[in-house]
A and B are shown apart, each in its own frame.
Chain A
Amino acid sequence: MIGPNNVVLIPILAGILAYFLGKIVKPAREGLTLASALTVCYFVFKTPFDKVIFFNYNFNLPAYFEGLKFGTNALSAFFAILIVFSYLFIAFTAFALVKDKDYHGTFYLFFNIVAGSLLGIVYARDLISFFIFWEMMTWSSYFLVIMNGKNPRKTGLTYIVFNVAGAYFMLVAMLMVYASAGSFHFDKIGTALALMPDSKVILISIFFAIGFLVKMATMPLHVWAPDAYTESENSFTGFFSGTLSKMGVYGFLLFFGALIGFANLKGISSIKGTSTLGYAIAWLGVITSVFATFRAIVQDEVKKLLAYSSVAQVGYIVTAMSIGTALGVAGGLYHAVMHTIMKLLLFITVAGVIYRTGKDKFSELGALITRMPLSFLAVLFGIIGLAGMPPFGGFASKWVIYMSLLKSQHYFLLIAMIVSSTTAFLYCYKLIYGIFLGHPSSPELLEAKEVPVFLWFAQVPLMLALAIFGVFPGLIVPYINKAVASLGFKAAFTSTTPYTLSAALGGFNGFVVINVLGVIFVIVLIWYTLFFPKSKKLHRLDIYWAAETPTEETPLHYGYGIGVELHRIPWVGASLSRHITNFYNKVAEQVNGIASVVKDIVFNGDGQIYMLYSVLTLVVIIMFLGR
C-alpha cells in the first residue's frame, strides 16, 4: 500500500525516470511529472487528515541502529496538502515555460526531487530522516537556483552557504538531543527534552531556530533569499518562495510545538506569557517584515519586489507562531496557506508575463491590461490578498494574526506589524501599476499575448481559492483546529460556521462582506451603465499634460517612480541606504584574508608537506586505535 511511508518516493523516482526517459521521448518528462503530481495528490487526500500513523524501517540493521520512521498526523497532513497542490500547479506552469530551455531535463529531475523531499520532511518521524530530506531539499533546489541565473556563482554560493550553515546548526542540535535522549525518534525525544537542564534546552532551541529561520529568510539570515528567489527558474520561483519557505514554518512548529512544547520553553523564562526565546524571535520576524517591505517598494525588478514581499510576509508568520499561543499558531498556519496561494499565483503570473514580453523590470513594462486581462485579474487578486484586504483570504489570515497579538497583549509587536502591513499597499500598487497600467514603456508591449494556456490551469484555481477563503473564512478552521490540537493546544477557534471567523475580541462574516460589496457594485454598475450616456473612448495620449501634447516618445510610465519618496523619509531613507549584505561581505573579506594566510602555510603546493600530513594522520589513527 502507498501511504505516508513511501509516497515520498513517487516524485523522486518520477524525477529520475523523467530525466533518462526524456532523453529518448521528450514529452515523457511532462507526462511523468503530471502523473506523479496527480498520484501524490490522490494519496495525500486519501490519508485521513488527523489520523496518527507510523511506519518503521529497520533494514535488518543491528539493534543499536534504530532505523528510520515515517508517519503522519494533522500537522504533517496540513503541510502535505500545501505541498501537493503547489507541486501540481507548478507542474502546469513548467509545461508551458520550460519546454524550450536547454535545461529541460535537469529542471524536471530536480523539481521532482524537491517535491519529494518536501513530502519527506513533513512525513519524517525521526531526526535522521528529517535531516536527510532537509539536505536533499537544499541541494536539489540549489540547482534550480543556479540553472537560469544571471549571476549564478554569487547567488548560488550565498544560497548554499546560508542554508548549509543553518542545516549544520540543526545537525549539532540533533546530535545534542541524541546524546541525551539516546534516540532520534520524535516520540522518544519529547520526554527526554523535558528532563534536560534548562541551559541545554535553550541552546538546542537556538540551534534549531537558526536552521529554520534561515529557511524562512528571517533577518539577519535572509541575505540569500531575494537573489535566490529572483534568479531561480521563473516557473519554479512560486514553489520556492511559496512552499519551500513553509518548510521552515513546519520545522519550527514541529520542534517548538510538538517536540519541546511551547509550554516547556515558557516554563524556563517568559515575557508576558511568551517564552523569552519566542519573544525574541517574534521581534526578529516583525523587524524582518518592516525592513523587507521598505526594500520591496524600491525594487525595479518585478521578481525581486515579490521576493522581498515574500520575506516580509513570512515575517508575519514567524511572529505569530513564536507567540506560542493557540491563536498565534493558528494565525501562522492560516497565513502560511494564504501566502502559499498568493505567492504561487503572483510568481506564476509574473513568470508568464516575463515569458511573453521578455522584460522583467517595472521600468520596461506597462499597459499590459488590454493584452493580458486574465493575468491582470490574477495579479489583482494576488495584491488584494497581499495587502490583507477584504473580501479575499488574505484579510482573514491577517485578522487572525492581529487578534492573536491583541489577545496575548503583545501590542508593540502589533504596532510594528501594522507599519509593515500599511506600507505593503505601496508595493502592491507598484506591482499592478508597473506591469499592467499606465503607458507601455516600449511599443512591442502593445502586441504581447496573454500568458500560455497551461498557466490558466494554475491561475484560475488559485484565484478561486483566494476568493473562497474570503467568502468562507471559517472553511479552513476545522483543519487548523486539528493541526493546532496536534501540538497540544486546545482548539484555537470556537465557532464552526464556514461563513464567520470569530476569536478573542471580535469576529466577522465573510459571506455578508462579499454580498454587501457585490450587491452595491452591481447596483452602481447597472445604474452607471444604463442611465448615463456612454463614455467617449480616448486615445491613451489624450491626457492632461499641463497644456502640452505628449507624444509617443514622452516618458509617461511612472513604474519606477513609485517609492522614491521613501528615501526622503528620515528613518526609512537611512535604513534603505544601508544593507546587511555589506556586513556579511566584510565578514567574508576577513575570512578570505585568514584563509589565504592558512593556505600559504598549510596548503603551499609542496608535495613533501602533503606527504607529511598523510603520515601524521596515519600516526594519529594508529595512536587512537592502539588504545
Chain B
Amino acid sequence: MGMKILNIVAYPFIAFIVGMLYMGIARNIIGRIHRRWGPPVFQNLIDVFKLYRKREAGSHGVMFHLGPIIMVTGIVSCLYFVPLLNNGVWLKGFSFEGDLILVTYLMVLGSLGMALGVGQGGVPFGVMGVTRGLTRLIGLEIPYFIAIIVLMAHYNTASINKIMELQAGGITHWGMFKLPLAFIASLFSFWGMMGASPFDIPGAPQEVASGPATEFGGKYLALMMTSRGIFGFLKLTLWVDLFMGGAATILILIGKTFLLFLTVLFVSAVYSRFKVEQAVDFMWRYPTLIGLIALVIEMVR
C-alpha cells in the first residue's frame, strides 16, 4: 500500500522535473544551433519557481481562475493512465483502468479547460490562439489516429500496457521498426503536438501575442508552465510506450524520451512557422498518405 501511494505521488513530480529539464536543454541546444550560448539548463525550473513566488496576479473571474487548474488536472490525470515503465508494478499509475482512446481524449481535456479560462480572460488574441490550436488539431489528429489505428489493429488491443508487452524482446520488436510507416506518420503529429516550430501556430508571439497565455501572469502562468512541462514528458512517454517498446527503468525511459525529444528540437530549429491552414493542409497530405499506406499494408497482411 505504501509503495502504491509512493508510486502515485512520484508520478507527476518525475514528469515535472524531467519535462522542465528537457525544456532547458532544448533552449541550450537551439541556442547552439543559432550560434549563441543558451541559458542554463535549469533556467525553466528557476522561471517556474520565480513565478510561483509572485505576490500578485490579476484575475478576470471564476472561469479564468479555474482554467489553469483544469489544465493541470486534465494533464496530470492523463499522465496517470500512461504507464511510465513496462517492468513489474512500478510507475504504472492507473494504466490498467483505461486504454489508448481514453488517453487520447484525456490529452485534449486540459486544453479545453484552459480554453475556457482564456475565453473569460477576454483577450481576442487568446481566443484566436485557442481557435488556431483547435484548427491545427484537425490536422494533427488525423495522422495520429491513423497511426494508432494501425497499432491497435496490429497488436489487436487498445491497452497501452499490452502494446508495450508485445514489443518486448529486443529492438526489432519495437513498433517503430515493425510498423515504420505508421511511426513516421505519427511523428509528424508528435512534432505538432509538442509545439515544434513549423506547427507552433497557437502561441505565435509575433501575431497573436503568445495566444492563449496572453492574459495569464504570476501564479497562473506558473501553473501553465508546470503543466506544459508535464505534458511534454507525457507525450514523449506515450510515444516511447507505443513505438519504442517502453522502458524498464527510469534511466532507459529518460534515454529513449531524450532521443525522441532531439527529433523535435532539430525540426523546430530549422523550420519556420506554417499558417494554420497550411499546417492542416500539410498534415492531410504527406503524413496522412504515409499513414494510409501503412494502414493498407496492415490490412493486406
A residues neighboring B (CB under 8 Å): 369-370, 380, 384, 387-390, 395, 399, 402-403, 406, 409, 411-412, 414-415, 418-419, 422-423, 425-426, 428-429, 432-433, 436-439, 505-509, 512-513, 516-517, 520-521, 524-525, 528, 532-533, 535-538, 540, 542-546, 556-558, 561-563, 565-566, 568-572
Contact = CB atoms under 8 A, between A and B. Distances in A.
18 contacts: A389-B112, A390-B106, A415-B149, A418-B145, A422-B138, A426-B135, A429-B115, A438-B119, A506-B157, A508-B98, A516-B81, A520-B73, A520-B77, A521-B73, A544-B125, A544-B209, A565-B131, A569-B277
Interface in B18-77: 52, 55-63, 65-66, 69-70, 72-74, 76-77
Interface residues of B, number: 76
B263 interface: no
A321 B132 CA distance: 34
Contact of A508 (B60, B102, B280, B281): B102
A571 B281 CA distance: 8
A556 B141 contact: no
Contacts of A507: 99
Q: Which of B97, B108, B137 has the most CB of A within 10 A?
A: B97
Nearest to B136: A565
A535 B105 contact: no
B77 A513 contact: yes
A213 to B, nearest CB: 27
B97 A508 contact: yes
Given A437-B119, A536-B56, A558-B127, A505 B98 contact: no
Contacts of B115: 429, 433
Contacts of A433: 115, 119, 127
Contact of B122 (A380, A409, A439, A512): A439
Contacts of A438: 119-120, 122, 124, 127
B124 A558 contact: yes
B295 interface: yes
Contacts of A429: 112, 115, 119, 130-131, 134
Interface-centre pick from A409, A535, A545 (highest chain B CB count, 10 A): A535
B77 A517 contact: yes
B134 A535 contact: no
Interface in B252-272: none
B100 interface: yes
Given A422-B138, A505-B156, A558-B127, A516 B94 contact: yes
Given A508-B98, A565-B276, A389 B105 contact: yes
B102 A432 contact: no
A389 B108 contact: yes
Contact of B131 (A426, A521, A543): A426
A524 B69 contact: yes
A505 B105 contact: no
A506 B158 contact: yes
B142 interface: yes
Given A403-B158, A568-B275, 5 more contacts: A418-B145, A425-B108, A508-B98, A508-B101, A520-B76
B90 interface: no
Nearest to A415: B146
Main secondary structure of the interface of B (DSSP, over half): helix
B203 interface: no
B299 interface: yes
A38 to B, nearest CB: 37
A415 B112 contact: no
Contacts of B214: 544
Given A505-B156, A506-B101, A520-B73, A543 B112 contact: no
A535 B116 contact: no
- Which 3 interchain pairs have the tightest Cβ spacing? A437-B119, A506-B158, A506-B99
A565 B207 CA distance: 15
Given A418-B142, A419-B142, A505 B119 contact: no
A414 B104 CA distance: 15
Given A387-B112, A422-B138, A512 B131 contact: no
B174 interface: no
B141 A388 contact: no
B73 A568 contact: no
A517 B52 CA distance: 23
B52 to A, nearest CB: 8
Contact of A521 (B55, B70, B108, B156): B70
B215 interface: yes
Contacts of A535: 56-59, 65, 218-219
B56 A533 contact: yes
Contacts of A571: 284
A409 B281 contact: no
B153 A543 contact: no
A537 B130 CA distance: 23
Contacts of B146: 415
Contact of B209 (A390, A546, A572): A546
Given A411-B299, A528-B219, A395 B105 contact: yes
B121 interface: yes
Contacts of A390: 102, 105-106, 109
B141 A543 contact: no
Nearest to A517: B77
B277 to A, nearest CB: 4
Nearest to B70: A521
Nearest to A414: B149
Interface string B143-169: 001100100110011110000000000
B98 to A, nearest CB: 4
Given A418-B142, A506-B101, A528-B69, A558 B59 contact: no
A402 B132 CA distance: 27
B15 interface: no
Nearest to A515: B94
A384 B116 CA distance: 12
Contacts of A566: 135
B181 to A, nearest CB: 14
A574 B207 CA distance: 26
Contacts of B59: 535-538
B119 A388 contact: no
B188 interface: no
B109 A509 contact: no
Contacts of A425: 108, 112, 134, 137
A461 to B, nearest CB: 24
A320 to B, nearest CB: 15
Nearest to A384: B112
